[in-house]
Chain A
């Protein structure tokens, strides 16, 4: 069904304010958004791409940050300036892509007094944030010269396009294409969102695994359709996917459907998160990072009570018991069964009594949960990306999947695989092709800092490098477009700072953004970017499960000062390096959008024509619920998983081999079965000096660190550490007090929220707040950035950012 077309109507206010049609007073269907044709003469300093809206217009655009929701905007524009926003108020209300509080604040980012204005060159020491204004010509020639110098001196492998997610749009970031035109760059694998999960899950479910669509997961809409029990581990769509056609709305609909048939929701989380606001009975509090222990105890109960589905395990899995272990593991008590029942390597029986002090969940509650899941007809078990973002994330993420595996509730109506809810993969438009990267070498993205510091000693065996045996060069040139992973969103800012300020290591850093982030302070050249709402823009809908869609947006106002479209600037850099035609193929930014859209329309004939899309701006169509691993469940022979055995590998021989062959650090283990392993700074890791556990969480005032420049958001949802009264009272900390939080890695100052909504013994620190410290002085971070506290120690297998949620701290009243 074509909801988009059906739903198109022009806001009545537009007509009231700007059109003679107002007299008619009728809702106008058919999508005559006059504004989209609106075109004023190119202004001085404007990019010349896209159009500038005329007065009293309504202009479509979309949010473009890394919650992935891509919610819709209708900008109301007056005299060339955005005056306010309506989000999606068209068509079927249940399918409206309603922007969240952040999206509704986008005008305050676009028109922020702290917008970068001109290209700048560093004049102070690196990291000082001291810059001087330069011309675009000078900036482009410096970047081109430095790129060429790096290629000539160190080779293309010394260039790294650092992980960055501040720009989601079809044409938003052609950096890779540009760098590929000049010989390529050191690749980054995986991402900061799903690092541990993405690396480990293929060993269990097969190499086609993706955390981003329903290859291995069922949609919430399937739970809505047929589940009677939803169990969520570390998953709060109300905080991670907040928009109104994003997962939070799908979740709300699902909950009402499940309740409607007498079902239940259980949310296993160390916080009473916002998804369960108003529903306290849904909360099962757990110590962060101990999901694997809870799972092991549930498994124990199921084995004792004979609830495991032996037929399923024998047919679809390897490694549950001795009989289904691969030959290399036989006779050594290496099965999952042995691990659970106390006959495995650690000789500990995983009873609820064993798990209670670890998880802080009373044994009787663990037994009740085990019975409840076992009794469910169609349990929908899922995990967010929080549990995997721990130092033991590679074990926890697989362990959670063991619940549906053990009882054979996979690939059936209403069930899920233990993975995060996922939308059917229906991407209607692509992007500017990146081209081929001639550099084979690839590092796990979180390893970039090690590659700056000692890249040439990094190998597959000691650092997870792929494509080459070892790196040939350290990283000498960092290209950072719309990203804040140089410091703010990376591990251990103080350590990272010390590496970055050494100009003999990374010799050149390019940062490119709309505001001065903490990462931007480390730029050698800092470029100001046009926002998507300041140029034509194209984007698929995000994570909504009930529909797919596409938006074609237009410039709502002109870029301020000397801000330019990144595409135009990259075209100039390409030109300066002699690859202008290869980069642009003779096309302008808007030409690319038209080409990308028309390619999408050719593949999906239900999409409107380009001309119609220019008028209507948005298109939607509904999609059906989906069941993860259904084909495999239906026929495990014809539809083998892409694991070595073709089955679900509870025991992974490949992981056992890595554990033997890789050069792991002291205490590091790559376990072939999903065990509970406390991990660095996990359970048992707190000390007298740092007696509290700390875990990050996603904060509603920001998308990661995006939107941090908006003061109104910072006030609406204040940056506060959550702390239980049990921990606050002995420290004399009251709700709203400033506290100092110290870890082995650094110290922050932050406001405390003293609340029973976090489990005792652990504190919750919102991630993404902007770092603000005197790095030449006491380094006390008054911005309260969680990564001042995190360690920078890549995890054993993924070499990922597990420390992001595994911290130990002490807290004192400031």
Chain B
């Protein structure tokens, strides 16, 4: 079986949220539900200099995150009705809405907070990697949308070979589920490691 995963170039991402909005348009999502979200992660301090100048250690970077179509999806393991399935052809993980009983176990279980309750249907929904498009030979809508060419959906082994094995930077949680994700870190990630960072846009990604 082929396993697809996402590649995210953190050094190019400008936090523009085009991926979010392309996804929202294609999946017809309203303002209260996101399948892909962009974290604004930042930190640093300022200090006044004797000569009237200021010094700072400020950094900022963005992380565009969707479902990682994990090797061991937490959502799948907690679903009581086997409504969360892996597509055999692509390895993409999707929700069978027919089988969903709206118990919200997946919503609580995913360390990446990916599944969301659709306020209209009251069903759990999430990124399915644009399964329909991918099967038709097209790209995931978010990857095709990125103005910075910072997102790809491709065979995970190929992505790892090209870009390495990094699958976690703050504020993403430590790998516990085998995310099919490859990240190219920006210089800010190293800076952030020595500073206290925070997600600055909680209200935008809730």
Contact = CB atoms under 8 A, between A and B. Distances in A.
Given A93-B149, A248-B147, A280-B191, A100 B16 contact: yes
Interface residues of B, number: 60
Contacts of B68: none
A16 B136 contact: yes
A87 interface: yes
A757 B15 CA distance: 14
A98 B28 CA distance: 19
A755 interface: yes
A12 B135 CA distance: 11
A86 B45 CA distance: 42
Given A278-B10, A357-B53, 7 more contacts: A101-B16, A101-B18, A101-B20, A248-B16, A713-B21, A716-B31, A760-B48
A248 B148 contact: yes
Nearest to B44: A756
Contact of B139 (A89, A246, A755): A89
Contact of A362 (B20, B42, B49): B49
B30 interface: yes
Interface string A750-778: 01010111011000000000000000000
Contacts of A275: 14
A356 to B, nearest CB: 4
A324 B59 CA distance: 45
A377 interface: no
A755 B30 CA distance: 28
A613 to B, nearest CB: 24
A281 B188 CA distance: 8
A81 to B, nearest CB: 12
27 contacts: A12-B137, A12-B138, A84-B28, A98-B18, A98-B145, A99-B147, A101-B17, A104-B25, A105-B21, A242-B16, A242-B18, A246-B147, A248-B16, A277-B15, A280-B187, A280-B188, A281-B191, A285-B54, A357-B53, A363-B51, A363-B53, A365-B53, A716-B21, A717-B17, A756-B43, A757-B58, A760-B48
Given A16-B136, A718-B204, A760 B46 contact: yes
B18 A238 contact: no
A13 B14 contact: no
B78 interface: no
B52 interface: yes
Contacts of A356: 49, 51-53
B200 A13 contact: no
A272 B22 CA distance: 26
A244 B54 contact: no
B148 A244 contact: yes
A360 B43 contact: no
B187 A279 contact: yes
B16 A700 contact: yes
B200 A755 contact: yes
Interface in B30-57: 30-32, 42-46, 48-49, 51-56
A105 B30 CA distance: 11
B147 A100 contact: yes
Given A100-B16, A277-B14, A716-B21, A362 B55 contact: yes
A361 B53 contact: yes
Interface of A: 11-13, 16, 25, 27, 84-87, 89, 93-94, 98-102, 104-105, 107-108, 238, 242-244, 246, 248-249, 252, 272, 274-275, 277-281, 283, 285, 353, 356-363, 365, 700, 711-718, 724-726, 735-736, 751, 753, 755-757, 759-760
Given A89-B144, A238-B14, A735 B200 contact: yes
A105 B149 CA distance: 19
B46 A274 contact: no
Contacts of B44: 280, 756
B11 interface: yes
B54 A100 contact: no
Contacts of A357: 51-53
A104 B145 contact: yes
Contacts of A107: 25
Given A16-B136, A86-B144, A718-B203, A760 B11 contact: no
A753 B204 CA distance: 12
Contacts of B60: 272, 277-278, 280, 757
Given A252-B148, A280-B187, A280-B191, A712 B30 contact: yes
A278 B62 contact: yes
B24 interface: yes
Nearest to B144: A89
B21 A98 contact: no
A158 to B, nearest CB: 44
Given A85-B25, A278-B11, A272 B58 contact: yes
A186 B200 CA distance: 48
B156 interface: no
Nearest to B149: A93
A100 B147 CA distance: 7
A108 B136 CA distance: 26
A741 to B, nearest CB: 19
A108 B62 CA distance: 25
A358 B51 CA distance: 10
B62 A277 contact: yes
B56 A756 contact: yes
Contact of A278 (B32, B136, B147, B186): B186
Contacts of B43: 756
B85 to A, nearest CB: 22
Contacts of B30: 712
A648 B201 CA distance: 47
B14 A244 contact: no
A248 B14 contact: yes
A747 to B, nearest CB: 23
Given A12-B138, A104-B25, A759-B54, A278 B188 contact: yes
Contacts of B53: 356-357, 359-363, 365
A238 to B, nearest CB: 4
B7 interface: no
A104 B16 contact: no
B25 A274 contact: no
Interface string B60-71: 111000000000
Contacts of B58: 272, 280, 283, 285, 756-757
B92 interface: no
A68 to B, nearest CB: 15
Contacts of A108: 25
B201 A718 contact: yes
A286 to B, nearest CB: 10
